Structure 1
C-alpha cells in the first residue's frame, strides 16, 4: 500500500469515527417507554474497532514519515514540519500586511487616519514568496506520498 492510500484511509476512518460518535450520542439516551433508534452498545463496539484500526494506521504512517528520505528536504516528517511552519509564517505575514489601504476605517475628515507601521508592499512580496515555497514543498510531499510504500 502506498502512503497516499493510507492517508486516504486514515481520513476515511476519522470521518467514520465521528459519524459513529454522533450516532452513539443520539442513541445513548432515550425516553422511558420508547426504544432507541439504534443499539448504542453495538455502535460503541464498532467505534472501538474503527479506532483500533485507525491507531494502527496512524502508527504506520508516522513510522513511514519518519523513515522516508526526501533528499534536501530531509525526511518526510521534516518536510511536513517545514510546510506547517511556512503556512504559519505566511499567515503572520499576510495578517501584518493587512489590507494596506491608506486611511482605512476613516469615515469623516475629522476622524484620525490609520497608517501602516510596516512596509505593506514588501510584506505582500514576502507573502507571495512564502506561498510559492508552500506550494513547492507540498508538491514534493504529495509526490513522495504516492511513491513511498507504507511501512509495517
Structure 2
C-alpha cells in the first residue's frame, strides 16, 4: 500500500468516526416504550473497529514518515515545516489585510490612521513564502504517491 492510499483511508475513517458520533448522540435517549432508530451497541462496535484501524494506520503512517528521507530531510520534518509555514502565512495574511485596509476620514481634522509596516515589502515576503509552501506541498504529494507504507 502506498502512503497516499493510507492517508486517504485515514481521512475516510476520520469522517466516518465523526458521523458515528452524530448517530450515537441521536440514539442516546428515546421516549419510554420507544426504540432507537439505530442500535447504539452496534454503533459502538463499529466505532471500536474504526478506531482500531485508525490507530494502526496512524502508527504506520508516522513510522513511514519518520523513516522516509528526501534530500536529507525526513517526511516528518517536511510536514512540520509545512504546517509551521502554513500557520505563519495565515497570520501574516491576516495582519497584512488589516494593515492595508484604509480608514476613511470625514474631515481633515479627524485622526489619520496609517499602517505600522511597509505593506508592499511584507506582501512580497508573503508571496515568496506562499511559493515556497506550494513547492514543499508538491514535494510531499510526490513522496506520498511513491512511498510504500511500512
TM over 0.5: yes
Q: Which has the higher contact order (CA 8 A, sep 6+)?
A: 2
Residues in 2 aligned to 1:97 and 1:30: alpha-carbon distance in whole angstroms: 52
Residues in 1 aligned to 2:30 and 2:54: alpha-carbon distance in whole angstroms: 30
Q: Which residue of 1 aligns with 2:11?
A: 11
Q: Which residue of 1 aligns with 2:23?
A: 23
TM-score (norm 1): 0.92
Q: Which residue of 2 aligns with 1:119?
A: 118
Q: Structure 1, residues 31-72: CA drift from partner, whole Å, max 9, x if none?
A: 112111110111011111111000000000000010101114
Q: Which residue of 1 aligns with 2:134?
A: 135
Residues in 2 aligned to 1:17 and 1:56: alpha-carbon distance in whole angstroms: 15
**Over aligned residues, Cα RMSD in angstroms?**
1.4
Q: Which runs of 4+ in 1 moved over 6 A?
A: none
Q: Which residue of 2 aligns with 1:90?
A: 89
Matches within 5 A, 1:91-106: 91-101=90-100, 104-106=102-104
Q: Structure 1, residues 103-137: CA drift from partner, whole Å, max 9, x if none?
A: x2224124322101101000000000000000000
- Structure 1: gaps spanning 5 or more residues: none
TM-score (norm 2): 0.93
- Structure 2: gaps spanning 5 or more residues: none
Q: Which residue of 1 aligns with 2:71?
A: 71
Q: Give the drift of 1:93.
A: 2.2
Q: Structure 1, residues 2-31: CA drift from partner, whole Å, max 9, x if none?
A: 000000000000011111111111111111
